[in-house]
């Protein structure tokens, strides 16, 4: 589940393909001297792309993995794929993959985003020309309120990312620090389940009870399930059910105030620390504020879309500038794998969090984080 890597435009993508560029000549010369390719290879691009797409949405920190993997592999990987160097080409490559990840999220949630964007424009129209006796700032529908909840929740992390991204990346983007924060991320996820509030547990139970009632009615033939997805079959039935459940989740989320959205959105700032998962801390904060686990996950995924897309779009000019020469194919290849990994992940996780917990991901982060600390700090 990604992390907020970058909001600032600019920064090279090529790994010093032209030794005539003074800032990057040492990198290129060192790469040639060590027998390493001066560019990201297709194999490296594919591995990084797949990891980015999957870990962007799983609560295990995509940036933490992309910092640790080169250090653990060593060799050319450690030399070329380093996010902590000034104007890191590896970081720019990773952020370029964000566009594909965001597109995958848009594809999965496209119906939801049509509703929410429609709600935004509807609310603007109401603000400009409210009806007789109506409050111009009152949100009349779930979609209108969801639109403004997402906007408010995105503002804090956007501002902090623009101002302090470079400082966070350079100082905290070191492998050993990423390992420490990955272990901390694991403790956060485990603690969220151990010390979960009763209000959040009750919300889970209410959703489960409602679904059981729908199943009973459908079995008796005396009820119509939400969204009429019982009339569909196979893959269409599953997807229709997911869409209907998404609408129901938005109705529940909209009952919470803008303050809740702002608090949950602000938690994303922690993901500027490599090793801390954005989606993970969003879910934990949402559950702490009383959201059902699956509703917290959905809100985290919806918040991820504009953040990831903005981070990627701001780096697109690098792909088509002189520093992108020689790596377009690698970027496209990595992006395809990133997009596929993200789509499969979000589809899996939306169903997973209906009945399962954050604990397995917390254990994974704790084990990998502690193991990386031992290896990088005492063995390697």
**pLDDT value of residue 130:** 82
**253 pLDDT above the threshold of 60:** yes
Condensed to tens digits (0 to 9), the pLDDT of residues 19-62 reads: 333 444 444 444 544 567 777 889 989 999 999 999 999 999 99
Position 57 scores a pLDDT of: 93
pLDDT at 304 over 50: yes
Q: Is the pLDDT of residue 261 over 90?
A: yes
* pLDDT classification of 89: cutoffs 50, 70, 90: low
Share of the chain above pLDDT 70, in %: 82
Q: Which residue has the higher pLDDT, 99 or 254?
A: 254
User: What pLDDT does residue 10 have?
Assistant: 43
Residue-level pLDDT at 162:
79
Is it the case that residue 5 has pLDDT exceeding 80? no
Mean pLDDT of the chain: 83
Percent of the chain at pLDDT exceeding 90: 53
What is the mean predicted confidence (pLDDT) over 3-8? 45
pLDDT at residue 331 is higher than 80: yes
* Residue 11, pLDDT score: 42
Residue 46 has a pLDDT of 93
pLDDT (0 to 100) of residue 173: 76
Whether residue 4 is predicted with pLDDT greater than 70 in this model: the reply is no
Per-residue model confidence (pLDDT) at position 322: 62
Confidence label for 80 from pLDDT (cuts 50, 70 and 90)? confident
Average pLDDT over residues 294-305: 96
Predicted confidence (pLDDT) per residue in 189-235, tens digit = 999 999 999 999 999 999 999 988 888 887 777 544 444 444 455 67
pTM score, whole prediction: 0.85
Separation of alpha carbons 372 and 74, rounded Å: 13
Query: What is the tens place of the pLDDT at every residue in 176-188?
Result: 999 999 999 999 9
The predicted pLDDT at position 276 comes to 95
Q: What is the 3-state secondary structure (H, E, C) of the chain?
A: CCCCCCCCCCCCCCCCCCCCCCCCHHHHHHHHHCCCCCCCCHHHHHHHHHHHHHHCCCCCCHHHHHHHHHHHHCHHHHHHCCCCCCCCHHHHHHHHHHHHHHHHHHHHCHHHHHHHHHHHHHHHHHHHCCCCCCCCCCCCCHHHHHHHHHHHHHHHHHHHHHHHHHHHHHHHCCHHHHHHHHHHHHHHHHHHHHCCCHHHHHHHHHHHHHHHHHHHHHHHCCCCCHHHHHHCCHHHHHHHHHHHHHHHHHHHHCCCCHHHHHHHHHHHHHHHCCCCCHHHHHHHHHHHCCCCHHHHHHHHHHHHHHHHHHHHHCCHHHHCCHHHCCCHHHHHHHHHHHHHHHHHHHHHHHHHHHHCCCHHHHHHHHHHHHHHHHHHHHHC
Residues 94-149 have pLDDT tens digits of: 777 888 999 999 999 999 999 999 999 998 988 888 877 777 778 889 999 999 99
């Amino acid at each position: 589940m990604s992390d907020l890597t970058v909001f600032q435009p600019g920064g090279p993508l090529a790994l010093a393909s032209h030794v005539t560029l003074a800032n990057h000549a040492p990198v290129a010369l060192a790469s040639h001297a060590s027998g390493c390719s001066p560019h990201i290879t297709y194999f490296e691009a594919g591995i990084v792309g797949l990891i980015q797409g999957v870990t962007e949405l799983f609560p295990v920190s995509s940036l933490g993995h992309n910092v640790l993997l080169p250090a653990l592999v060593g060799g050319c990987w450690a030399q070329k794929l380093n996010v902590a160097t000034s104007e890191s080409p590896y970081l720019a490559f990773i952020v370029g993959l964000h566009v594909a990840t965001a597109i995958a999220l848009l594809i999965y949630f496209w119906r939801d985003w049509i509703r929410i964007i429609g709600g935004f424009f509807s609310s603007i129209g109401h603000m400009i020309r409210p009806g007789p006796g109506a409050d111009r700032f009152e949100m009349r529908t779930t979609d209108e309120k969801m639109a403004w909840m997402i906007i408010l929740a995105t503002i804090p992390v956007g501002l902090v990312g623009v101002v302090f991204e470079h400082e966070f990346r350079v100082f905290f983007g070191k492998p050993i620090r990423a390992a420490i924060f990955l272990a901390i991320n694991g403790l956060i996820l485990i603690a969220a389940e151990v010390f979960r509030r009763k209000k959040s547990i009750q919300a889970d139970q209410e959703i489960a009870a409602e679904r059981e009632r729908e199943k009973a009615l459908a079995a008796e033939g005396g009820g119509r399930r939400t969204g009429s997805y019982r009339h569909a079959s196979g893959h269409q039935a599953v997807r229709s059910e997911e869409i209907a459940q998404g609408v129901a989740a938005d109705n529940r989320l909209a009952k919470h105030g803008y303050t809740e959205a702002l608090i949950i959105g602000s938690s994303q700032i922690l993901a500027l620390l490599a090793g801390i998962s954005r989606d993970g801390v969003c879910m934990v904060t949402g559950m702490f504020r009383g959201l059902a686990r699956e509703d917290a996950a959905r809100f985290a995924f919806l918040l991820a879309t504009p953040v990831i897309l903005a981070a990627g779009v701001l780096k697109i000019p690098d792909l088509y500038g002189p520093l992108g020469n020689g790596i377009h194919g690698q970027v496209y290849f990595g992006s395809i794998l990133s997009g596929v990994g993200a789509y499969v992940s979000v589809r899996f996780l939306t169903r997973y969090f209906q009945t399962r917990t954050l604990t397995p991901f917390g254990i994974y982060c704790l084990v990998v984080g502690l193991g990386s600390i031992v290896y990088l700090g005492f063995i390697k």
